[in-house]
Amino acid sequence: MDLRTMSDEMKEHLLKDIVPFWRRLRDDEYGGYYGFMSYDLATDKKAEKGCILNSRITWFFSNVFLLYKTGLIEYDDFEKYGYTYLDIRKEAMHAFSFLADKCIDKENGGVFWSLNYDGTPGDTTKHTYNQAFCIYALASYYDATKDERAIKLAKELVDVVENKCRDEGGYLEARKIDFTPESNEKLSENGVMADRTMNTLLHVFEAYSELYRVTQDPFIGERLEWMMDAFAEKMYNPALHRQEVFFDNDYNSIIDLYSYGHDIETSWLIDRGVKILGKKEYAQKMYPITMDLASNVYKVAFDGRSLANECDKGVVNEGRVWWVQAESVLGFLNAAFMDPTRPEYMKAAFAQWNFIKEYVIDKRKGSHEWYALVDKEGKPIEGIPIVEPWKCPYHNGRMCIEVIKKNAGIHI
């Protein structure tokens, strides 16, 4: 296999499988997209609609449309599978309308955690993580459509994040509807309750990187610098060649947890942000860290064809989680471009894609999305939903989109 072959295969998977699957989940009655499909492929049209899910869907269709606008997907590529680029644009517009009209709290500001099936507020928690994904989606939607409403909303959410979801130490986690403190069950796990998390900081960084890419706003650039300093000085553990995951308010790690998926995702997302920011001093500061993260994940978690999930207190979780597999393709591919003297990284990206093709893509009629979880040998773990508030076309769709771009020589 070579990069062009992988790119061609991913383009076909994107347009033949992932795009049609999510188009079928559009809710034309109440807006947005249906929020739940069981392992048995039964859609629950009255399930909650996660705002993270709908932000990620907005991001996804916006970026598929951007592939068309930049010439990386042609009209005939869509037509081959029974739809056109205009259909993709309509999906992005449909998704954006739901975000703007329903997911954003007009009274208190910010994005709800979830809505009821009919678009009324459900879980009114305001989590910083959730605000970040909406900013991420709005920035991409603006780039795709030049709709000024999107960039206006994105800037309003930045004001929310900076003024209501941050203290002198950094970004906070869960807030109530009025932004008073709330416990952080939503982004805490493994038996701990975190005051601060690597995951929230990573996705604020991701969102601000995309917003800076389309606006070049100096304030956003300054925040990106602050976040990279925080990753380097607070999150990154040079002795263990990993990031810490869950912290108390003073950034003391509160659990011995090595999240392989987050480290490999961080490695390429930070590199992307560095390229977007374009400051040499941050390239010099961050590249050794991101390469160390990728190198160690390759060394301790990759078995030659797929990536384990995490290591909690020395015990490895060998489950092959869908999003971890997608991010490992991009992390290893990025490492291969960053250090061409290490051909094993490119081979790892190809091997991981082969594992995904063989085992992770759900080949059942009516799906062709991805299983949420397979075991080390590739056997699906039954009972886990195909669609739920965290299961979306963001990781696997982004994998396809980024590989297509990298094959064309586009690295941001």
Question: pLDDT (tens digit, 9 = 90+) per residue, 338-392?
Answer: 999 999 999 999 999 999 999 999 999 999 999 999 999 999 999 999 999 999 9
If you average pLDDT over residues 259-269, what whole number do you get? Answer: 98
pLDDT digits (tens, 9 = 90+) for 179-199: 999 999 999 989 999 999 999
In terms of Cβ atoms closer than 10 Å to its own Cβ (0-12, 13-18, 19+), residue 368 is middle
Query: pLDDT at residue 147 above 90?
Result: yes
* pLDDT in the model for residue 412: 87
Can you list the positions of beta strands (E) in 274-372? 310-312, 315-317, 320-321
If you average pLDDT over residues 267-293, what whole number do you get? Answer: 98
Dihedral (CA of 393, 394, 397, 401) sign? positive
Cβ neighbours, 10 Å, residue 85: 18
Query: pLDDT at residue 296 above 90?
Result: yes
* pLDDT in the model for residue 316: 98
Share of the chain above pLDDT 90, in %: 99
* pLDDT in the model for residue 200: 98
Please provide the DSSP assignment of 189-224 as one string. -TT---SEEHHHHHHHHHHHHHHHHHH--HHHHHHH
Query: pLDDT at residue 238 above 90?
Result: yes
Question: Residue 35: helix, strand or coil by DSSP?
Answer: coil
pLDDT digits (tens, 9 = 90+) for 96-106: 999 999 999 99
Under 8 Å between Cβ of 33 and 60: no
* pLDDT in the model for residue 264: 98
- Domains of the chain, each with CATH number or no CATH: 3-407 (1.50.10.10)
Cβ neighbours, 10 Å, residue 39: 16
Number of alpha helices (DSSP H) and beta strands (DSSP E) in the chain: 14, 15
